[in-house]
């Protein structure tokens, strides 16, 4: 699944266009490498992204097949770290 779609489906960004813009600005990384919006994410990949004043690092546990309810989104990833960015 594309990284911009994944971030949106798992409710990690408010819209897919925000996820795409973050990728275009170099704020999203897959396994330590800068990710384009079209980069493919697989199970076990480590995602790191800087959005909404925080740097999030998470491991993708499984890829959703369709839309995901917000309450169920946490089943698809495990949060490794979340730290506030300096102003």
The band of 86, judged by pLDDT with boundaries at 50, 70 and 90, is: confident
**Statement: 3-84 belongs to CATH 3.90.190.20:** no
What tokens does 77 get? Answer: 């990833």
Domain ranges of the chain: 3-84
pLDDT value at residue 1: 93
- Indicate the pairing of strand 33-34 with strand 46-51: unpaired
For 38-84, what is each residue's pLDDT tens digit? 999 999 999 999 998 999 999 999 999 988 999 999 999 999 999 99
Is the per-residue pLDDT at 26 higher than 80? yes
Q: Give the number of other CB atoms < 10 A from CB of residue 44.
A: 10
Distances (CA, A) of 65 to 1, 10, 53, 55, 76: 9, 11, 29, 26, 11
Instruction: List strands edge to edge, sheet with 77-84.
Output: 33-34, 28-30, 46-51, 54-60, 77-84
Is the per-residue pLDDT at 87 higher than 70? no
């Amino acid at each position: 699944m594309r990284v911009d779609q994944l971030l949106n489906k798992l409710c990690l960004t408010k819209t897919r266009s925000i996820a795409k813009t973050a990728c275009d600005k170099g704020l999203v990384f897959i396994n330590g490498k800068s990710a384009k919006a079209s980069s493919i994410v697989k199970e076990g990949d480590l995602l790191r992204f800087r959005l909404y004043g925080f740097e999030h690092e998470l491991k993708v546990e499984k890829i959703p097949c369709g839309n995901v309810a917000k309450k169920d989104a946490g089943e698809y990833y495990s949060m490794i770290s979340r730290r506030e960015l300096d102003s």
